[in-house]
């Protein structure tokens, strides 16, 4: 008997995946997106004997090149000097943890939730939202990181073949910023993203000496708590207590959360010394974009394939969006900064 086959009473065989699918039907709530009968892919594939469709999607995302590059992409602070500041990768992991906690409490599909969370920012640019803003200005197609995340898994990864993810995962990725996903799991990730970034950005701002805990609006911290851990616990608890039928924060907790968000936009995101280098980052990305538009033969081979399938602007945009902060700076120096002569 092969290791992934379960022998049932009466002699029937069942794979580990099939057993997991049946178990889900017994333990997940009626609002959950169960693995059995869902998980539609554009290209049909043989089923895995061990993993459900959503588990496979999670693994494909976790092992792809774009996921690894998140470790050197800006979260808020551009290339910070220090070991403990968040990157786009650690942000993604914190979103996943928060989303999985909520999904487990509601008895929703934790594997689907995790896959969406791990993939939600795959399309983010170097230098965070400043990179997104300049690509949105100069690319004729515009640029939104959540839509780029879907392009990554559909057309860029796996040498242009994509990851062939399920519809439910791709929909959750596409809707994580400003739309309502078709699954409850997708909507949870949207809320988890908001909870994660406000609280870890406060933490990083305090670490950077830009804020003190006592600078935060007291009307918000009196409700949410006076530490990152307490605030996250309060926000998650509020969502869970409200119930799976209408997934949201209670009115007073949402008001406090929104007050913190407005405070961060006024004092960090839009008006801080940490954002002083953004103009340079935008200028650098724009110059790289124009260079590769002029010299498309300099694109890596995988992006030449994208150019052949779509067009030059799309290929250049995909290439630059996929760069890490460090890679883009090094490439800029290579192309535009004179080097000292050496024999």
Proportion of the chain above pLDDT 90, given as a percent: 83
Task: Please check whether residue 112 is in contact with residue 54, taking contact to mean a CB–CB distance below 8 angstroms.
Answer: yes
pLDDT for the residue 276 = 74
**Is pLDDT larger for residue 267 or for residue 225?**
225
Tokens of 22: 């049946």
Please determine, for residue 151, whether its predicted confidence score (pLDDT) is greater than 90.
Answer: yes
Per the prediction, the chain carries an average pLDDT of 93
Mean pLDDT (whole number) for 142-160: 97
List pLDDT tens digits, range 28-55. 999 999 999 887 899 999 999 999 999 9
Percentage of the chain lying above the pLDDT 70 cut: 93
Per-residue pLDDT, 75: 86
Average pLDDT over residues 94-115: 98
Taking CA atoms, 217 is separated from 184, 220, 258, 264, 338, in Å, by 32, 6, 11, 10, 49
Question: What is the mean pLDDT of the segment spanning 139-161?
Answer: 97
Average pLDDT value for residue range 208-230: 95
Average pLDDT score over residue span 112-135: 96
Q: What does the pLDDT average to over 268-293? A: 87
**Does 176 score more than 70 pLDDT?**
yes
Confidence of residue 270 (pLDDT cuts 50, 70, 90): confident
Residue carrying the six token digits 């535009």: 336
- Mean pLDDT, range 169-173, rounded to an integer: 98
Residues near 198 by Cβ (< 8 Å), separated by ≥ 6? 257, 260, 261, 264
CA 84, distance to chain mean position in Å, is 19
Structural domains in the chain, sorted by start = 5-274 (1.10.3210.10)
**Which pLDDT value is given to residue 113?**
98
* pLDDT over 90 (residue 88): yes
pLDDT digits (tens, 9 = 90+) for 315-340: 999 999 999 999 999 999 999 999 87
97 vs 115: CA distance, rounded Å = 11
All residues at 6 or more sequence positions from 167 whose CB lies less than 8 Å from its CB, including other chains: 39, 40, 41
Whether the per-residue pLDDT at 191 is higher than 60: the answer is yes
Q: Say how far apart CA 143 and CA 72 lie, in whole Å.
A: 20
pLDDT for 80: 66
Render pLDDT for 289-318 as a digit per residue (tens, 0 to 9): 999 999 999 999 999 999 999 999 999 999
Contact 92, 66 (CB under 8 A): no
Res. 1: pLDDT tops 60: no
Q: Residue 24's pLDDT is what?
A: 96
């Amino acid at each position: 008997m092969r290791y992934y086959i379960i022998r049932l009473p009466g002699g029937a065989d069942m794979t580990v995946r099939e057993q997991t699918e049946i178990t889900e039907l017994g333990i997940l709530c009626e609002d959950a997106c169960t693995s059995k009968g869902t998980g539609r892919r554009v290209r049909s594939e043989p089923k895995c004997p061990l993993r459900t469709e959503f588990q496979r999607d999670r693994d494909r995302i976790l092992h792809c090149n774009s996921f690894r590059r998140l470790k050197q992409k800006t979260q808020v602070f551009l290339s910070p000097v220090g070991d403990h500041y968040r990157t786009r990768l650690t942000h993604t992991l914190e979103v996943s943890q928060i989303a999985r906690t909520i999904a487990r409490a509601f008895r929703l599909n934790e594997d689907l939730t995790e896959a969406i969370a791990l993939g939600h920012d795959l399309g983010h640019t170097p230098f965070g939202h400043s990179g997104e803003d300049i690509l949105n200005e100069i690319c004729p197609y515009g640029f939104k990181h959540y839509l780029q995340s879907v392009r990554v898994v559909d057309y860029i990864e796996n040498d242009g073949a994509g990851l062939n993810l399920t519809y439910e995962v791709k929909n959750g990725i596409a809707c994580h910023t400003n739309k309502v996903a078709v699954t409850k799991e997708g909507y949870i990730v949207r809320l988890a993203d908001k909870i994660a970034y406000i609280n870890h950005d406060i933490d990083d701002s305090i670490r950077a000496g830009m804020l003190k805990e006592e600078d935060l609006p007291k009307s918000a911290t009196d409700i949410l708590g006076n530490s990152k851990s307490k605030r996250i616990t309060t926000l998650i608890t509020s969502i869970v207590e409200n119930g799976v039928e209408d997934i949201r924060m209670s009115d007073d907790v949402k008001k406090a959360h929104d007050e913190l968000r407005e405070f961060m936009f006024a004092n960090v995101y839009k008006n801080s010394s940490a954002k002083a280098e953004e103009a340079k980052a935008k200028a650098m990305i724009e110059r790289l974009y124009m260079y590769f538009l002029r010299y498309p033969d300099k694109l890596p081979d995988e992006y030449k394939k994208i150019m052949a399938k779509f067009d030059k602007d799309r290929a250049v945009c995909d290439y630059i969006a996929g760069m890490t902060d460090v890679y883009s700076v090094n490439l800029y120096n290579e192309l535009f900064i004179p080097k000292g002569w050496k024999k």
